[in-house]
């Protein structure tokens, strides 16, 4: 066994992989948040709850409709995204004229309602969701032991994040989106239906969260608290990466996941706080975040 | 003109505020009335193992005791402690001070349990704890108003730890929830492992609550080369640890130091099979237990009782027997005297059979080691355990002189 | 008097009368909880209502104040007054450290940073041995006030809590209606203009933050004494969220709003506790309702109806 810094090779690489996986979730969730914040200027506190809904949607599809994992990867984001669009049309759109803080408060309230309802309906101990048989088992890579499903998660997350980044930065749709963020009335004057664009963007951000939820379902129990467990760390990630920066959220998400993983090897008790410590350091040295625009 | 408008509004507000707020009560009753409070987790991680099922168990005990014909009434109130010691303390205080509650049962959650114990002592009422794990309730934190009914960390450690070493699991690695409960469980289990000539190869503590991903700790456990993985945690944490251990193909034997029937139900047999755990009650363990469980399931459809819920039934029943024996008025007046009565009478019910209560407030009964069945061995839902070993009542719990309980006179 | 306008003064007298009369008809421990929460909300309101900064992690100061008071009472057997003051000092010092980091940003960024910092405090409290982790610090004696007043009697304790609350309430009011408070309002209205006038706005904001967190620490310490327990609940993010809701419901930026808000919130929690997770759902619904349709809060709406500033 190779020993690095006194830690066995399989252990270190195993932790790095796990860090990447965690990072994948951070990246996807903060990406959704960044997209929504960039376009709508709303801090979507309900993101964690909608992530949880994605996992529940996958679970419900399996248990009530016998629809398996791979179709659920598409269906669940669509369903929850549609729910997100419904939310946007009825509730969120009323916030645009108000101070940003009200957006935070409203979505916070929304997260309480969603989580409370699910907790009432489904209890807190979580429900099992099996890893699809195609992805079960593990591969022995020699220097480490990798469960196939976890490898798949990193791959899928990476693909989705890259695709999103490409769409926003490199396509004309993305350009229109970015323009609408800068100056909505002007873009509307060009004939673009800006409100619909905004609605679809919100739905898209939510769908990203739901997709992450489906990916998470086999790894964690599907339980109503899974969103709130993530959301606070994800906010720190967003602050570190720079609010509203797509690239920032992706890079920081993966990066912080790796840092957290390494902390777990060397000093496990601090693994929950290390993200916040990094955030404090960033705040002291570069307040706008690693990739953010100056305030 | 303006002034009166304001005055009326303010006056109206005051009255409104007054009506929402709780009032002090103090009305007399005609027939003597006992009031039982079931303080449990109705919405959190312990909802399924205790929760509404525990409340149902109280009612079942009342019905089977036949309260109606005995010349007194019993009222039951239920509250959710939300797994917070301050909520638990507030509810306990209000119940004892304001609502005339005489007995509090259940309280799954060690932190809440300890807090309620001191309130019960302060108000001289009766407290029968069934759900909490911490063995401190009968050690340093013991008092004359509290009885710890179903299990504790010592019992779990003694049964699972000692037995597993005997079965060949002589090297252990712990994954521990980094708070009092997890640490106590690890500490107690380590004593047994080393006492049976096993060794603890290593351990790792993880932040609690909030940790859902145990893969890194599992990797460490596997790398340590230990034969047994001791999970010093409970609820969702244990479920996640087990699921992820399966996913990573961990070859160690999994010791569920605190695992409930509802957790196994949640995990599913294909994941949970082979896990070894300790419960002092299983619905299918003998004829009496089966009979009780059938009666229970007739009311709470679709589930079987866990040991906590069985404990609620058992403790409530014993309390009613004691209260009738000493006289209801006397029981209401003096909690410590009621507890003394409970301790003086031997216990006997369908769930735990014959048992007794020690002077430090520890109820004594045998503990059982179980193994989770393979899916092929199970005949249907809830048929999950097969018996492995039994520890006799006098060995199952910490010896009386070792706890440091001030009630035990040397 | 004290800077109250006439209608506010009448409202103050009404509140004072209620404080004096209620413990004889209403369960005193419930009232003490209301008063502690009210002080917490008033201190919180200082930031959001008058400085315009939403601190989403105020529970950190509340909880730490509670822990310090609980620990000093239990282990060092201090006088209750000193223990509570130490709680306040803790809140202030913590507020200074964390505020220094957070003040660099404003608006939503400030909110998110305070939330994240509070999470750090939460995890610290989880790990640190003196806090007792999940169990918290239990069996905290109520002790004595000024050496001779025994606080184990509920009514005596209530009298002390009421005095602490009134003291804090009047102090906040005094701060707002002082030259310092005027500068704060100016900063809230138009910070660049205030800077151009020569005011070091960051310092003012930080001082206000420290004042707010100190009073929050006092509220936390008092609460720990009343209930004899200091737990993780007092530092976690849902308590932070609750205090935001309490103040929003009562009326942001009003004098009596936070008090009204805590009466309603604590009563609601009391009533709904028996129904399990419905507390969370109800809180969420109220939050959403307040943001969408009831932004002025109860006192704000009443004040608007009566054309008063309450």
User: What pLDDT, on the 0 to 100 scale, is given for residue B7?
Assistant: 47
Inter-chain CB proximity A232 and C281 less than 8 Å: no
CB A107, CB A114: distance < 8 Å = no
Which of B45, B223, B248 lies at the smallest CB-CB distance from A11? Answer: B223
User: What pLDDT, on the 0 to 100 scale, is given for residue C274?
Assistant: 64
- Name subunits touching C (3+ CB pairs < 8 A): A, B
Which of A91, A236, A269 lies at the smallest CB-CB distance from C127? Answer: A269
d(CA B99, CA A202): 50
Residue B13 lies in a domain: no
Regarding whether B262 and B118 lie in a shared domain, the answer is no
d(CA B49, CA B262): 6
Residue A247 lies in a domain: no
- Helix/strand/coil (H/E/C) assignment for every residue in B28-57: CCCCCEEEEEEEECCCCCCCCCCHHHHHHH
Which residues of chain A make contact with B239, given a CB cutoff of 8 A? 125-126, 221
Strand partners, B37: B77, B104
Residue B17 lies in a domain: no
User: What pLDDT, on the 0 to 100 scale, is given for residue B251?
Assistant: 84
The Cα of A120 is separated from the nearest Cα of chain B by a number of Å equal to: 7
Which residues of chain B make contact with C234, given a CB cutoff of 8 A? 86
CB C272, CB C229: distance < 8 Å = no
ipTM, interface predicted TM-score of the complex: 0.84
| Closest residue in chain A to residue B179, using alpha carbons only | A269
| pLDDT bracket for residue B389 (50, 70, 90) | confident
CA dist C228 → B87, C134, C136, C151, C166 (Å): 12, 15, 10, 11, 22
User: What pLDDT, on the 0 to 100 scale, is given for residue A37?
Assistant: 83
Residue B8 lies in a domain: no
User: What pLDDT, on the 0 to 100 scale, is given for residue C153?
Assistant: 82
Residue A102 lies in a domain: yes
Residue-wise pLDDT for A176-229, tens only, equals: 888 887 777 888 888 888 888 888 888 989 999 999 999 998 887 788 888 887
Pairing of strands C149-150, C144-145: antiparallel
Regarding whether B252 and B372 lie in a shared domain, the answer is yes
Inter-chain CB proximity A14 and B239 less than 8 Å: no
Higher per-residue pLDDT: C107 or B50:
B50
Q: Which of A260, A39, A83, B6 is nearest to C256 (CA)?
A: B6
Residue A86 lies in a domain: yes
Regarding whether B354 and B260 lie in a shared domain, the answer is no
User: What pLDDT, on the 0 to 100 scale, is given for residue C95?
Assistant: 95
Query: Is pLDDT at A171 greater than 50 in this prediction?
Result: yes
Provide the whole-model pTM: 0.83
Inter-chain CB proximity A128 and B210 less than 8 Å: no
Contacts 24+ apart (CB under 8 A), A20-23: A20/A154, A20/A254, A20/A257, A20/A258, A20/A261, A21/A150, A21/A153, A21/A154, A21/A219, A21/A257, A21/B215, A22/A257, A22/A260, A22/A261, A22/B213, A23/A253, A23/A254, A23/A255, A23/A256, A23/A257, A23/A258, A23/A260, A23/A261
Higher per-residue pLDDT: C4 or B374:
B374
Which residues of chain C make contact with A279, given a CB cutoff of 8 A? 113, 116
User: What pLDDT, on the 0 to 100 scale, is given for residue A179?
Assistant: 84
Q: Could you give the number of structural domains in chain A? A: 1
In the block, which residue shows the tokens 């942001």? Answer: C252
Residue B253 lies in a domain: yes
Return phi, psi of residue B76, to 5°. -115, 130
Residue B82 lies in a domain: yes
User: What pLDDT, on the 0 to 100 scale, is given for residue B314?
Assistant: 93
Regarding whether B147 and B64 lie in a shared domain, the answer is yes
SS3 call for A115: helix
DSSP state of B118: H
Total CB pairs under 8 A between chain B and C: 122
Residue A193 lies in a domain: yes
Residue A215 lies in a domain: yes
Which of A10, A15, A221 lies at the smallest CB-CB distance from B216? Answer: A15
Regarding whether B141 and B65 lie in a shared domain, the answer is yes
User: What pLDDT, on the 0 to 100 scale, is given for residue A39?
Assistant: 75
In the block, which residue shows the tokens 């959403």? Answer: C288
CATH assignment of the domain containing B105: 3.40.50.2300
Tokens of C175: 């701060």
For an interface test with C, give the residue of B86, B108, B110 to mutate (most C CBs within 10 A).
Answer: B86
Regarding whether B373 and B349 lie in a shared domain, the answer is no
Which residues of chain C make contact with B9, given a CB cutoff of 8 A? 302, 305-306
Inter-chain CB proximity B14 and C136 less than 8 Å: no
| Closest residue in chain A to residue B260, using alpha carbons only | A125
The CA angle A5-A7-A13, to the nearest 5 degrees, is 105
| Closest residue in chain A to residue C112, using alpha carbons only | A235
Range of the domain at A47: 17-126+139-228
- Name subunits touching B (3+ CB pairs < 8 A): A, C
The Cα of B179 is separated from the nearest Cα of chain A by a number of Å equal to: 11
Range of the domain at B201: 154-279+367-391
Task: Tell me which of B209-218, C77-86, C207-216 is least confident.
Answer: B209-218
Inter-chain CB proximity C276 and B9 less than 8 Å: no
Residue B269 lies in a domain: yes
Which residues of chain A make contact with B210, given a CB cutoff of 8 A? 229, 272
Top mean pLDDT of B44-53, B145-154, B206-215, C272-281 is at: B145-154
User: What pLDDT, on the 0 to 100 scale, is given for residue B23?
Assistant: 46
Inter-chain CB proximity A220 and B240 less than 8 Å: yes
Task: Tell me which of A139-153, B351-365, C90-104 is least confident.
Answer: A139-153
CA dist C150 → C28, C111, C143, C146 (Å): 16, 41, 6, 9
Q: Could you give the number of structural domains in chain B? A: 2
The whole-number average pLDDT for the span C169-184 is 89
Residue-wise pLDDT for B48-95, tens only, equals: 788 889 999 999 999 888 877 788 889 999 888 877 777 788 889 889
| pLDDT bracket for residue A286 (50, 70, 90) | confident
Percent of chain A with pLDDT over 70: 94
| pLDDT bracket for residue B263 (50, 70, 90) | confident
Which residues of chain B make contact with A271, given a CB cutoff of 8 A? 206-207
Task: Tell me which of A132-146, B178-192, B273-287 is least confident.
Answer: A132-146
| Closest residue in chain C to residue B82, using alpha carbons only | C276
User: What pLDDT, on the 0 to 100 scale, is given for residue B26?
Assistant: 43
Regarding whether B78 and B59 lie in a shared domain, the answer is yes
Q: Collect all residues with Cβ–Cβ distance below 8 Å to C179 and sequence separation of at least 6.
A: none
Regarding whether B323 and B202 lie in a shared domain, the answer is no
The Cα of C231 is separated from the nearest Cα of chain B by a number of Å equal to: 7
| pLDDT bracket for residue B20 (50, 70, 90) | very low
Regarding whether B59 and B127 lie in a shared domain, the answer is yes
Q: Collect all residues with Cβ–Cβ distance below 8 Å to C140 and sequence separation of at least 6.
A: C69, C70, C73, C74, C224, C225, C228, C229, C230
The whole-number average pLDDT for the span B148-153 is 91
Query: Is pLDDT at B271 greater than 90 in this prediction?
Result: no
d(CA B44, CA B80): 9
Query: Is pLDDT at B335 greater than 80 in this prediction?
Result: yes
User: What pLDDT, on the 0 to 100 scale, is given for residue A6?
Assistant: 66
Query: Is pLDDT at C253 greater than 90 in this prediction?
Result: no
Residue B41 lies in a domain: yes
User: What pLDDT, on the 0 to 100 scale, is given for residue C37?
Assistant: 95
Query: Is pLDDT at A294 greater than 60 in this prediction?
Result: no
Residue A152 lies in a domain: yes
Q: For chain C, give the longest Cα–Cα distance.
A: 55
B73-80, strands of its sheet edge to edge: B73-80, B33-40, B103-106, B126-129, B146-148
- E strands along B258-376, which residues? 276-279, 347-349, 353-357, 363-364, 367-372
Inter-chain CB proximity B248 and A147 less than 8 Å: yes
Regarding whether B380 and B253 lie in a shared domain, the answer is yes
Q: Torsion angle, CA of A159/A163/A166/A172, rounded to 10 degrees?
A: 170
Residue B409: count of CB within 10 angstroms of its CB: 5
Regarding whether B184 and B142 lie in a shared domain, the answer is no
Residue-wise pLDDT for C111-166, tens only, equals: 888 888 898 898 888 878 888 777 788 888 888 888 788 887 888 899 999 999 99
User: What pLDDT, on the 0 to 100 scale, is given for residue B158?
Assistant: 86
Inter-chain CB proximity C134 and B13 less than 8 Å: no
User: What pLDDT, on the 0 to 100 scale, is given for residue A140?
Assistant: 76
The Cα of B93 is separated from the nearest Cα of chain C by a number of Å equal to: 9
User: What pLDDT, on the 0 to 100 scale, is given for residue C148?
Assistant: 80
Residue A151 lies in a domain: yes
Regarding whether B290 and B145 lie in a shared domain, the answer is yes
Residue-wise pLDDT for B89-118, tens only, equals: 888 988 998 888 999 999 988 878 888 998
User: What length is written for chain A?
Assistant: 295
């Amino acid at each position: 066994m190779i020993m690095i810094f006194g830690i066995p090779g399989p252990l270190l690489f195993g932790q790095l992989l796990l860090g990447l996986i965690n990072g994948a979730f951070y990246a996807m969730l903060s990406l959704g948040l960044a997209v929504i914040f960039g376009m709508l200027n709303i801090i979507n506190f309900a993101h964690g709850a909608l992530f949880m809904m994605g996992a529940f949607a996958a679970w419900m599809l399996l248990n009530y409709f016998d629809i398996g994992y791979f179709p659920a990867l598409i269906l669940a984001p669509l369903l929850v995204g549609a729910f997100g669009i419904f939310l946007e049309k009825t509730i969120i759109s009323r916030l645009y004229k108000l101070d940003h803080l009200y957006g935070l408060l409203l979505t916070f309230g929304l997260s309480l309602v969603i989580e409370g309802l699910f907790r009432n309906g489904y209890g807190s101990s979580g429900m099992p969701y099996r890893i699809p048989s195609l992805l079960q088992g593990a591969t022995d890579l020699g220097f480490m032991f990798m469960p196939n499903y976890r490898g798949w998660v990193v791959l899928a997350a990476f693909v989705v994040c890259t695709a999103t980044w490409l769409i926003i930065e490199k396509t004309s749709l993305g350009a229109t989106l970015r323009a609408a963020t800068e100056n909505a009335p002007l873009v509307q004057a060009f004939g673009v239906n800006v409100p619909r664009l905004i609605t679809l963007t919100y739905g898209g951000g939510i769908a990203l969260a739901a997709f992450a939820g489906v990916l998470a379902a086999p790894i964690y129990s599907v339980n109503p608290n899974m969103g709130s467990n993530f959301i606070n760390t994800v906010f720190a990630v967003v602050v570190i990466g720079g609010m509203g920066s797509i690239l920032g959220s992706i890079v920081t998400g993966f990066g912080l996941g790796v840092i957290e993983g390494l902390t777990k090897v060397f000093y496990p008790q601090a693994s929950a706080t290390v993200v916040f410590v990094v955030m404090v350091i960033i705040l002291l040295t570069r307040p706008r975040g690693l990739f953010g625009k100056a305030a | 003109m303006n002034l009166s408008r304001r005055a009326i509004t303010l006056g109206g507000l005051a009255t409104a505020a007054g009506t929402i707020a709780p009032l002090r009560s103090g009305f007399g009753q005609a027939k003597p009335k006992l009031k039982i409070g079931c303080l449990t987790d109705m919405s959190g991680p312990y909802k399924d193992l205790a929760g509404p099922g525990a409340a149902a168990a109280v009612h079942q005990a009342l019905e089977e005791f036949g309260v109606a014909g005995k010349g007194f009434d019993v009222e039951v109130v239920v509250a959710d402690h939300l797994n917070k010691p301050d909520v638990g303390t507030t509810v306990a205080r209000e119940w004892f001070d304001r609502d005339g509650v005489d007995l509090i049962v259940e309280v799954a959650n060690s932190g809440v349990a300890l807090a309620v114990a001191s309130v019960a002592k302060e108000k001289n009422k009766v407290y029968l704890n069934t759900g909490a794990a911490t063995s401190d309730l009968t050690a340093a934190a013991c008092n004359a108003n509290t009885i710890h009914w179903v299990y504790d960390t010592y019992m779990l450690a003694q049964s699972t730890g000692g037995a597993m070493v005997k079965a060949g699991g002589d090297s252990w690695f712990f994954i521990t929830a980094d708070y009092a409960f997890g640490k106590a469980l690890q500490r107690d289990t380590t004593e047994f492992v080393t006492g049976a000539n096993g060794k603890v190869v290593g351990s790792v503590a993880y932040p609690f609550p909030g940790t859902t991903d145990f893969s890194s700790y599992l990797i460490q456990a596997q790398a340590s080369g230990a034969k047994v993985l001791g999970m010093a945690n409970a609820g969702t944490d244990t479920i996640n640890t087990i699921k992820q251990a399966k996913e990573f193909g961990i070859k160690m034997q999994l010791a569920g130091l605190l695992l409930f029937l509802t957790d196994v139900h949640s995990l599913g047999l294909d994941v949970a099979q082979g896990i070894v755990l300790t419960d002092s009650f299983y619905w299918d363990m003998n004829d009496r237990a089966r009979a009780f469980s059938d009666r229970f399931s007739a009311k709470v459809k679709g589930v079987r009782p866990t040991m906590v819920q069985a404990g609620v039934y058992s403790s409530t029943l014993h309390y009613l027997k004691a209260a009738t024996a000493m006289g209801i008025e006397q029981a209401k007046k003096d909690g410590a005297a009621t507890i003394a009565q409970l301790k003086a009478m031997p216990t006997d019910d369908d769930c735990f059979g014959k048992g007794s209560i020690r002077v430090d407030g520890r109820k004594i009964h045998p503990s059982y080691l179980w193994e989770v069945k393979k899916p092929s061995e199970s005949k249907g839902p809830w048929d999950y355990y097969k018996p492995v070993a039994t520890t006799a009542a006098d060995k199952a719990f910490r010896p009386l002189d070792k706890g440091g309980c001030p009630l035990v006179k040397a | 008097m004290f800077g109250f306008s006439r209608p506010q003064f009448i409202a103050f007298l009404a509140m004072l009368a209620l404080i004096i009369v209620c413990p004889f008809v209403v369960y005193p421990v419930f009232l003490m909880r209301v008063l502690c929460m009210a002080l917490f909300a008033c201190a919180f309101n200082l930031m959001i209502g008058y400085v315009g900064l939403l601190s989403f992690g105020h529970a950190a100061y509340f909880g730490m104040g509670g822990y310090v008071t609980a620990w000093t009472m239990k282990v060092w057997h201090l006088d209750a007054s000193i223990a509570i003051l130490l709680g306040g000092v803790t809140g202030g010092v913590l507020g200074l450290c964390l505020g220094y980091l957070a003040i660099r940003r404003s608006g939503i960024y400030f909110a998110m940073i305070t939330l994240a910092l509070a999470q750090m405090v939460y995890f610290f409290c989880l790990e640190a041995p003196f806090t007792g982790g999940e169990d918290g610090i239990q069996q905290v004696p109520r002790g004595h006030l000024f050496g001779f007043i025994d606080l184990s009697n509920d009514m005596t304790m209530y009298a002390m809590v009421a005095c602490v609350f009134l003291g804090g309430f009047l102090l906040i009011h005094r701060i707002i209606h002082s030259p310092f408070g005027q500068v704060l309002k100016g900063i809230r209205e138009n910070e660049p203009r205030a800077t151009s006038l020569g005011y070091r706005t960051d310092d003012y904001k930080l001082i206000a933050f420290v004042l707010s967190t100190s009073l929050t620490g006092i509220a936390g310490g008092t609460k720990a004494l009343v209930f004899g327990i200091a737990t993780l609940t007092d530092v976690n993010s849902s308590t932070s969220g609750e205090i935001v809701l309490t103040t929003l419901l009562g009326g942001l930026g009003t004098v009596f709003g936070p008090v009204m808000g805590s009466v309603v919130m604590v009563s609601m929690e009391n009533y709904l506790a028996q129904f399990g997770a419905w507390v969370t759902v109800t809180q969420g619904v109220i939050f959403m309702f307040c943001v969408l349709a009831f932004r002025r809060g109860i006192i704000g709406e009443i004040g608007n109806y009566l054309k008063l500033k309450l």
